[in-house]
Structure 1
Amino acid sequence: MPSRFAVSALQIAKDSLWLLQNPDMGNGSLLQRHKDWQFAHGWQHKRAPHRGNFNFKGFLEAIRDHYDEEFLRVLCEGKASLLIPETGGWIRQLTMLQNKDRAYPPLQHMLLWQFLGLTVEEFFQDPSKPVISPGLKKSKSQLTLDGPCPNVACEQYDPPIPRILDVPEEARDKRFTISCPVCDFSYTQRPSCDDPRRIRIKQTGNLWDSRLRELLERTPALSLAQLTNEIGFSQATIQKHALRLDLWRSGWKDSVKQAVDSKGKSRRRKKAARHRNRQKWLKLRNEFPGESRSELRKRAPRVGYYLSKHDTDWYNAHSPKKGGKWNRERRKRWDSLDKTTLAVSKKEVAEMMQEDPPVRVTLHGLSDRLGQTSTLQTRLRRKKLPRTAEFIDQVVENKRDYALRRLRNAVDHYAQIKKLPAYRDFTDKASMDYRSYPELASSAYAALTAHIEEQECIPEQWKTSDPEPWRES
């Protein structure tokens, strides 16, 4: 082993010995532990929209630069099982796609630990928490902070709430989410807000819900004013969450219930939006009765998008039928294009058949040569070019057909020069290896041997066929 690999190899030996001496390392997910250490070492995206997620691309590039390919080959006795492909290979498996029911080679784990600067003993200790700035972005305009808790039942309760926030000047116009790490109560506010009526509750948490339930079920019943003093929120807020917890009191007004029912408000808004967009769409149809649905949607894209996504059945029932403009002239254009594509496809296939070494005829290879890598395949899938499709079905080769053609060419070549080659030379001529259809290669070689040594006729199976059988049609 080259001396420059000695330090890394010695560390792997020490880690292996430690693993053998400490077989019981407790329960836990190796994948989760890998993630914890990667985050602790800063392998996470720093900017939106992926901020906080594992930066696998950067991690993979760094680890590929860290390890010498020769060192990885030495570790696996000259084989390629530890080499790291551009797609990630075993690195991706260990860090992102681990299967809990599968065992992975310990040597791969050790290489990851060593890259992170960890010994195996350090890896199985709890990683230090990653350093994350207090303003972790959740969206372009919203930031999350730990702050004062407005929950009177929480040990972190710390009025007055809200308070003016000390944030950078560029964040003054953003809305912040303030959350309590103990009871999960969270609310949003502007940095300059100090009015309790201006905050928006996002989540109350089990502790606050339990406190409100206890107060609402107390006997004798507390009035709304007393509930407000006890829990520190407005009467509308208390009634709104009482409705959410199915603790609405019969004595409260129905008009108030309708006002604080957020689900009911959402239903009414959706119903109004549906009615409004339907009327706009019907008006468009009356004004432009001869236009297709695509043309109508160009005139009112928002209306068409809303109805097609949120009111699909009504939209389909009250819209022009699809394909209304299909006519004879359009069919003629497709027929002409079919003839042209068929002619150039025959020419390209003929050239592919004559190439040496042989080239397999595939739909992708043909469309690539025609310069229509996706266009041709899309048109065939939509059945726009029936004659071209029929021709391609005749000429495309699967792997076995391709192997047969190469073997026939090899038999024809040695039959013409009247020379019996060694079996290895014969398979090399046919571009076959020992794993590719050995029974076909043996049969073709036996037929060639019988033809040259015993003057027997070559069986029909191994005679070269007409390379362009479609010319007559």
Structure 2
Amino acid sequence: MMTFFPVPYKDELLYSVLARYHVRSGNVSIKATQKDIYGTDSITAIMDLPSHIYRIMDNLPVGHHYTPEYLIANHTLYPFYAAFLSSEHAAKVKESMIGDKGGSIYNRIGLMASSVKFNQYFKFCPKCADEEVYNLGEMYWHRIHQIPGVLVCPEHNTPLYDSQVPVRGYNKHDYRLATPETCKINYPKLNYPDNIMDKAINIAQDIDYMLNNKTENKSLKWFKGQYINRLKELGFANINGRIKQKELLESFVNFYGHRFLRMVQSDIGFNSNGNSNSNWLYEMIRRNNRSSHPIRHLLFTHFLGISPLHIFNKKIEYKPFGERPWPCLNSAASHYLKPVINDMELKYGADSKSPIGVFICDCGFVYLRTGPDREEKDRYKITKIKHFGSVWENKLKKLTNQRLSLRETARQLAVDPATVKKYAKKLDLKTYWLKRGGEDQKIVNINEEDSSVEKKVSFRREWLNLIKQYPHSSKTELRQLNNRVFTWLYRNDRNWLNRNSPKIKSTVNDNHRVDWEQRDEEIYENVRIAVNDMLTVGKPVRITISSVGSRIGIRPLLEKHLDKLPMTKAYLNDKTESIKDFQIRRLQWAVQELQKDGQDLSLWRIYRKAGIREKFQKDLQEEAIKLIVEKNNLCL
């Protein structure tokens, strides 16, 4: 029985506490120490997941306040290794640690079959060692330093070094103390590149969180579901859960790099065909009956942008169209644009490779939308109307009886005239529309037997709307504004396109003079509004003369005649951005977005959110760190 028990230090291994007991007890023989601790001298000294803890409890000094659960949770590696086990499985591991079934622990966790091997030597942080000797008068072995895959100390963000003490020594019963003599740096100091260091720090911090915060055990099925839904959000899987394996593996390896993955024993190799030949990642996602090493779970969650807090506690649901209820887009209904739809069917677009939402309203209106939604305004878009429903059809009947024009009827129903004609014929309605010329007739005088009538109507309407929006633009300028519509009409409806396009302006004997001063004032105001929108709405877009011109439909004018617009030119010269200015603005936007999502501000996460290429990251590091410091100070 022990006459005293050293008070465990923060993050100290139980192994280290017992090593300190051995030295302080004055026992010459390790067997004498073993009998003090366990009541027997045949127990193996285990660093990470010790067993026979009930024996330690039986031999602690009278009046102690320790429990087996306390020692296991705070002074062994159980919280790390059991984190990704089911509650039943984790309970059996804990039971084995408390009892005498230590031989089954590694098999239960899956460590015996894992390709992630144990550290050969105890590891230490030189800065921790110096502080402990100064403040405590002795050193000790930290839990987090001994986990395979931890390359740095999360307290000091410095590399860890091998000590001279083997994890499995020649005497399996011995407890070896951390001392200045056994923790010397006898080789060149480690100096990891920044990209390696950042990733190593992030992984170490995630593990530190797991060791010091209680996590709720979940089944392997839970984690697979979390991963698949996040992969859907990121575009690496379709809505049926089919993973784009090659894209995922390439992105994962590009994110970490082969060197870092080898350092944490988790590299993924590729053969000459570009396929993976050592794919632990795909097996971890797909196989529900096989556990994976926790370091690999953390590598993957970090790549997916999921924090340790959320992977265990917040269920990730794939919602490409946001939260219910959704708006009804039936213009004939009294609840038009109001969020009344709770019934939505999610489908997979075989052609578009995108999620498709089928929104079904009680009024009978059913519409499709291709997702995912990127902005709030996307909720009010329709890709295709599947059923109009009785409410819409009744309004069509009412408008027909009122003898409104075809175009006015179409406007009130928020559809094109061809659709009105189609459903009027389907419902056998008596119509009173007059066949007259003008813009209405340009759209409706189409052979209804044409199988592509709806598509043709849609493209014609887009082209006419473009002309109406930019009445002073030439045919070429309109084409630049919407090349998709122009190309389709040019190939499929050229005669109509030629009749309904701006005429070529003759420059012969053109004595009309442009009032450039007035035009400058008008364009300046449009440019100012456009720049303000680009700076405040949505994902950042670089402010250039071309981007601003494209936004307001006068790009050729700004590019060729900006010298004639002095007020506009001065404003644009002040607002246009260099590549670096734009990159800094993207960093600022990324920090704001990450804070909104409640994610930690780390360099790699900010760079990825902002879309900064690796070759620019070093030049922007100082600015990114400044933003992190500023935001953290505001939070404090």
Q: Normalising by the residue count of structure 1, what TM-score does the alignment of the two structures yield?
A: 0.28
* Greater Cα radius of gyration, structure 1 or 2: 1
Does 1 or 2 have the higher relative contact order (CA < 8 Å, sep 6+)? 2
Q: Normalising by the residue count of structure 2, what TM-score does the alignment of the two structures yield?
A: 0.22
